[in-house]
Copies of this chain bind each other. A is one copy, B any other.
Amino acid sequence: MVSFEQFQMEDGSPIYLQIVSFVQRGIVAGTITDGDEMPSRRVLSALIGVNPNTIQKAYRQLEDDGIIESRSGAKSYVTITPASTRTIRGRLLSKETAALVQNMKQMGISMEEAISLVAEAWSEEE
């Protein structure tokens, strides 16, 4: 069963996309693997305190991405292959790093400085 205990809502981006990203990152990290069962929409709604419609939208998005599959009634299961995992990983990483790099360049920061900033942030995180 996919666990959402670590899930935390943040402001800034839509909740349903936060849920999608959470699952994607879990897959890349290996904590979510092929065949895992997703919690039912009702349960997840109650668990993280989010409107059922929002959960539905997230699940729909995950289905469209081919990451989960609804089988036998209301239950959903994760369906991924090593290849698709790599694809997700690449997409997640390149999108975010590209944005960071572009903005830092606009701020006139050198690559060395950027790298040291990342290393710093890495250590500071709790």
Interface pair A96/B89, CB less than 8 Å apart: no
Residues of A within 8 A of B (CB): 14, 21, 25-26, 28-31, 51, 64, 72, 74, 89, 92-94, 96-109, 111, 114-115, 117-122, 124-125
- List of B residues within 8 angstroms of A30 by Cβ: 108
Distance in angstroms from A19 CB to nearest chain B CB is 14
Q: List 28 A-B contacts (CB under 8 A).
A: A21-B103, A25-B103, A25-B106, A26-B106, A28-B107, A28-B108, A29-B108, A30-B108, A31-B108, A51-B74, A92-B103, A92-B107, A93-B107, A96-B99, A96-B104, A97-B100, A97-B117, A97-B118, A97-B120, A97-B121, A98-B124, A100-B100, A101-B121, A101-B125, A102-B125, A111-B118, A111-B119, A114-B118
Interface pair B98/A125, CB less than 8 Å apart: yes
Interface pair A107/B64, CB less than 8 Å apart: no
A94 to B111, CA, bound (A): 16
- List of B residues within 8 angstroms of A103 by Cβ: 21, 25, 92, 96
